[in-house]
């Protein structure tokens, strides 16, 4: 079901009962992954998604452009997430929680080689361990790469993270470089 | 190889596609990475599905209060009736309350044609033969019940007097059984005997009371 059909259902009182379930089925997984990639605990994730869906219902009349329903919903989610960070005084160390202007000014912070002086049994073990560290260190970048792997387009990712298309493309490119740096050790391991 | 192409190759390899001309060692590493990514995703999926069920219930309650029309409870749907039936029958089974009739029956009987024929063999000939000649479809008038003109009896002695002239009246037998079952002339064995006789003539009230008495006797 596409977003515009969902929107029509939400506006129809008779179909609202079905609409919210469809909404949940379509977006809960994405919302959950996105919030998890911002290092938010599972209980707090549910609170944020709850507030977001509640706002979608209560503020549906304020939506001006129907074609931007999806991006509007993601914006509500990000706003709720930022509100959560502000209220809980948690450090905004995640890229998605950084203001747009700050993101544009970020330099290339990709490490050239990420080594932890750890010994691995083989390449497979190395890759598994490195990806665990990567997910822990940069869950936001892990998120965008996973999305790309699943075939989500850059445009759709831009809607999720609330950036312009070129900024998103650059961000994904940097994420790939960062992942590559993590895997470099495993690559060198297979060379020797 | 430009960085963009390398980037595309990187993603394609992670997506499990064949990338011609790619460094085989990188291809191997990225295949391994893909497997780990899938494993991590599956682990997260399991967590999501688990959380989603509970979240759905929470969200439903929250939205019903404000935006949704609450679902009406059907008070007398089939489930309720079924439940009432189960509770009622289990209650009856638990208490083992047998059906017991306590009111006397009217002695003026009305019979169906078959019953009349069964009780009085003469009626069979009356219906199918007219002065010794066979009647193909039988006389219709016979279906009317024959009045017995019996007066009701209040005391046991009166009933027994009527019984001498009408020994095959099942209602009268039942009423006598009823009088033996309780009251001044209480005699359970006699009551059982009369109920049994009434039963034999097709009185189902007598059958229920007979069963009831037998059950009480065996307890």
The CATH number covering residue B125 comes to 1.25.40.10
Same-domain check for residues B140 and B212:
yes
Query: Cβ of A40: how many Cβ atoms within 10 Å?
Result: 23
B5 and chain A: CB distance < 8 Å anywhere? no
- The verdict on residue B106 lying in a domain is no
Structural contact between residues B66 and A57, judged by C-beta atoms closer than 8 angstroms: yes
Structural domain ending residue among the three candidates A91, A126, A145: A91
Query: Which tokens hold the place of A190?
Result: 């297979």
What's the domain count of chain B? 2
Structural domain ending residue among the three candidates B34, B49, B66: B66
- The verdict on residue A133 lying in a domain is yes
Ranges of chain B whose pLDDT falls below 50: 1-5, 143
Query: If you average pLDDT over residues A29-56, what whole number do you get?
Result: 90
Same-domain check for residues B61 and B120:
no
- The verdict on residue B42 lying in a domain is yes
Q: What domain range is B140 assigned to?
A: 113-218
Same-domain check for residues B28 and B118:
no
Query: Which tokens hold the place of A64?
Result: 């001006």
Does residue A57 carry a pLDDT above 70?
A: yes
pLDDT in tens, A110-165: 444 455 566 777 888 888 888 888 888 888 899 999 998 888 899 999 999 888 99
Chain B nearest-CA distance from A79, in A, is: 19
Does residue A49 carry a pLDDT above 90?
A: yes
Same-domain check for residues A67 and A42:
yes
Chain B nearest-CA distance from A23, in A, is: 11
| Euclidean distance between CA atoms B136 and B150, whole angstroms | 34
Same-domain check for residues B199 and B134:
yes
Same-domain check for residues A85 and A110:
no
CB contact under 8 A, B37 and A186: no
Of A120 and A35, which is predicted with more confidence? A35
Same-domain check for residues B129 and B61:
no
- The verdict on residue A35 lying in a domain is yes
- The verdict on residue A126 lying in a domain is yes
CA distances from B70 to A52, B55, B61, B73 (A): 21, 18, 9, 9
Does residue A99 carry a pLDDT above 60?
A: no
Does residue A103 carry a pLDDT above 80?
A: no
Same-domain check for residues B142 and B206:
yes
Same-domain check for residues B118 and B186:
yes
| Euclidean distance between CA atoms A34 and A39, whole angstroms | 9
CB contact under 8 A, A16 and B68: yes
Same-domain check for residues B120 and B211:
yes
Q: How high is the mean pLDDT of chain A?
A: 81
| Euclidean distance between CA atoms B219 and B215, whole angstroms | 6
Spatial CA neighbour of A6 closest among A14, A29, A16:
A16
Structural domain ending residue among the three candidates A59, A91, A123: A91
pLDDT in tens, B154-182: 888 888 988 888 888 888 899 999 999 88
**Out of A17, A149, A176, whose CB is closest to B7?**
A176
Same-domain check for residues B130 and B190:
yes
What's the predicted TM-score (pTM) here? 0.57
CA distances from B87 to A38, A67, A127, B100 (A): 54, 56, 63, 21
> Residue A107's pLDDT is what?
44
Same-domain check for residues A75 and A127:
no
Of B7, B24, B32, B50, which to mutate for an interface test with A (greatest number of A Cβ within 10 Å)?
A: B32
- The verdict on residue B75 lying in a domain is no
CB contact under 8 A, A131 and B10: no
Q: What domain range is A115 assigned to?
A: 106-191
Does residue A46 carry a pLDDT above 60?
A: yes
What's the domain count of chain A? 2
> Residue A105's pLDDT is what?
45
Helix residue spans in A1-95 (DSSP H): 3-11, 16-36, 42-58, 69-88
Query: Which tokens hold the place of A143?
Result: 């998120």
Same-domain check for residues B118 and B173:
yes
- The verdict on residue B33 lying in a domain is yes
| Euclidean distance between CA atoms B21 and B42, whole angstroms | 31
Structural domain ending residue among the three candidates A32, A67, A91: A91
φ/ψ of B95, rounded to 5, equals -85, -15
pLDDT band at A17 (very low <50, low <70, confident <90, very high): confident
């Amino acid at each position: 079901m596409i977003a515009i059909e969902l929107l029509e259902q939400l506006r129809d009182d008779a179909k609202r009962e079905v609409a919210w379930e469809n909404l949940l089925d379509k977006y809960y997984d994405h919302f959950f992954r996105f919030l998890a990639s911002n290092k938010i605990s599972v209980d707090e994730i549910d609170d944020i998604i709850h507030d977001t869906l509640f706002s979608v219902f209560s503020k549906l009349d304020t939506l001006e452009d129907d074609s931007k329903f999806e991006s509007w919903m993601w914006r509500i989610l990000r706003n709720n997430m930022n509100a959560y960070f502000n209220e809980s005084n948690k450090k905004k160390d995640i890229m998605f929680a950084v203001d747009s202007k700050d993101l544009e000014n970020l330099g290339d912070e990709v490490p050239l080689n990420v080594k932890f002086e750890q010994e691995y049994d083989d390449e497979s073990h190395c890759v598994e361990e490195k990806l665990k560290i990567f997910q822990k260190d940069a869950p936001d970048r892990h998120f965008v790469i996973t999305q790309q792997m699943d075939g989500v387009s850059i445009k759709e990712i831009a809607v999720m993270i609330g950036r312009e298309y070129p900024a998103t493309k650059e961000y994904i490119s940097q994420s790939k470089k960062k992942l590559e740096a993590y895997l470099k050790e495993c690559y060198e391991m297979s060379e020797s | 190889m430009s960085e963009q192409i390398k980037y595309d190759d990187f993603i394609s390899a992670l997506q499990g596609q064949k990338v011609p001309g790619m460094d085989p060692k990188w291809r191997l590493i990225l295949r391994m990475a893909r497997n780990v990514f899938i494993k991590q995703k599956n682990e997260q999926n399991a967590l999501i599905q688990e959380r989603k069920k509970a979240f759905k219930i929470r969200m439903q309650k929250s939205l019903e209060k404000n935006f949704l029309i609450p679902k009406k409870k059907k008070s007398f749907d089939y489930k309720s009736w079924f439940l009432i039936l189960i509770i009622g029958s289990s209650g009856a089974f638990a208490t083992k309350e047998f059906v017991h009739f306590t009111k006397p029956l009217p002695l003026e009987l009305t019979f169906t044609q078959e019953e009349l024929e069964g009780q009085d063999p003469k009626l069979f000939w009356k219906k199918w033969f007219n002065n010794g000649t066979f009647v193909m479809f039988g006389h219709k008038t016979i279906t009317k019940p024959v009045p017995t003109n019996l007066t009701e009896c209040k005391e046991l002695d009166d009933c027994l007097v009527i019984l001498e002239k009408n020994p095959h009246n099942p209602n009268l037998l039942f009423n006598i059984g009823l009088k033996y079952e309780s009251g001044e002339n209480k005699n359970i064995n006699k009551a059982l005997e009369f109920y049994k006789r009434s039963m034999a003539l097709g009185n189902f009230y007598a059958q229920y009371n007979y069963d009831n008495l037998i059950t009480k006797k065996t307890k």
